[in-house]
Every structure is written in C-alpha cells, then in structure tokens.
Amino acid sequence: MFVAVDENLWAVYDAMGASFVDHAADGAYNAHYDRPAVLAAIGAVEGLDVLDAACGPGFYLQKLVDAGARVRGFDASEEMVRLAKERVGGEVDIRRADLDSTLPYDDESFDLIVCALAIHYSSDRSATFGEFFRLLRPGGRCVVSTGHPASDFARKAGSYFDVVMESDTWNISDTESYEVRFWREPLSSLTAAATDSGFVIRSLIEPRPTESMLERWPEDHAELSRAPAFLVLDLLRLA
C-alpha cells in the first residue's frame, strides 16, 4: 500500500497512525539515534515546565514525565494526539495545535521546549521559532532536532542553498509505504530562523550512532558514523 498525502504535511501521520508507533518505538533512527542525542542535550528536567512541540505518539512525553517534569504537548495530527494520550494517560495536557499557527499557550509559560524531528514540517520556521521564544521564560531553552541539511542535500537534487519542499518514501512496514514531505533548507537558513527570533545557539550537535545500533543495524551504524543524518540545536532565550 502506498499512501500519497496532498494536504497538510502532518496529515500523513494521521494515515500512519499506530504503524508510526511501531516504526519509531524501537527503530534505529528514532530510538537509537535521535532520542539519545536529544535527551542528552536536554539534561535534567525535574520540576521544569516543559512543552513537547509536535509530540507525535508521546515517546518524549513519557520520558519527560518519568524524569519529573511538568509536561504539556501538542501535535497537529489528531491520531498522534490520541496515541500520545493513550501513552501517558489523562494527567498530561495534550492538544491539537499546529506549528504553523499561534500556539495555544500564554507567554513565558515554559522552561524548556522540545521539538524533535518536526520543525522541517513547519512552512515558516522563523514564525515557529518566534512562537517558541514567546512561550519560553527568560533563561529557558529550546532543543530542536531535524534532518541534517548536508545529508538531506546529499540525498536530493538541486542546490544546497535551495529552500524547497522535498519528499521521501518511508517503507515503514513490509506492506506500508508513505510519501512524507518536508522542507529542506541550508544550515544558515535554519539557524537564522532561530537567531532572528531572539535565540542564542548554546550548541549545535551532530549526533554519533549509539553502540546499541551496532549489533542490530550495523549498516546504519556504519553510515551514521560516516555522516550525520540529523542535527540537534540547543537554543537559549537569554532575556
């Protein structure tokens, strides 16, 4: 089954539903590459007010709740919101909201915003970073992971400096493939979207594959040891 989705970029996640959970729960790139890198960048969260932006089915929400944070989350996909609620139960405020719109939270509500593997679905990254800046208290941090622009460029045609919508086919099971569209842009454009919104870059992390990948996915481990697929931005709202 091949599913092409022509509406909003997040609509494919409604279509993937529980299949995305199976794909991401213990998959090489989500569970053994992105999450270890992002969680290491985040550090201790006990007692912090944390927003999980584009929370998907709630893998980060669960980790953050377990680590003692006061967590809220949102996603544009109704199905991801439902799956996230199923994962963490009724205690956590999880809403349907869109990275492309004003987010339904008050100014300076959070100490930390986590946005894993989703900023590339926002059609206006500057506006999204602007919203994240508004929602953070002074001194608050925003940790964002996304596709590495160099790796996305290497897989695609055109100029590295293009800001273009790209499309990948995800074969997430033996029987299901989905067309997943996303924005590709140069690194300078992504970082400018953050810094023009007022953020200072604390660090830019190019993750290395974890040892846990070596035995189960040796080819992915070798490839990710050669070139990064994702990057992590650790951003600070100073004042």
- Residues in the site for ligand SAM, rule: CB under 6 A? 9-10, 13, 24, 54-56, 59-60, 75-77, 80, 98-100, 116-118, 121-122
Beta pairing class for 93-96 and 2-3: unpaired
Question: Cβ of residue 215: shortest distance to ligand SAM, in angstroms?
Answer: 23
Question: Cβ of residue 147: shortest distance to ligand SAM, in angstroms?
Answer: 10
The nearer residue to ligand SAM, 55 or 71, going by C-beta atoms, is 55
On whether the CB atoms of residues 42 and 30 are closer than 8 A, the answer is: no
The nearer residue to ligand SAM, 38 or 136, going by C-beta atoms, is 38
Q: Which tokens go with 50?
A: 């944390």
Burial of 211 (0-12, 13-18, 19+ CB in 10 A): exposed
Question: Cβ of residue 60: shortest distance to ligand SAM, in angstroms?
Answer: 6
Which DSSP letter does residue 121 get? G
Question: Cβ of residue 10: shortest distance to ligand SAM, in angstroms?
Answer: 3
The nearer residue to ligand SAM, 9 or 233, going by C-beta atoms, is 9
Cα of 105 vs its chain's centroid, Å: 19
| Beta-bridge partners for 112 | 50, 141
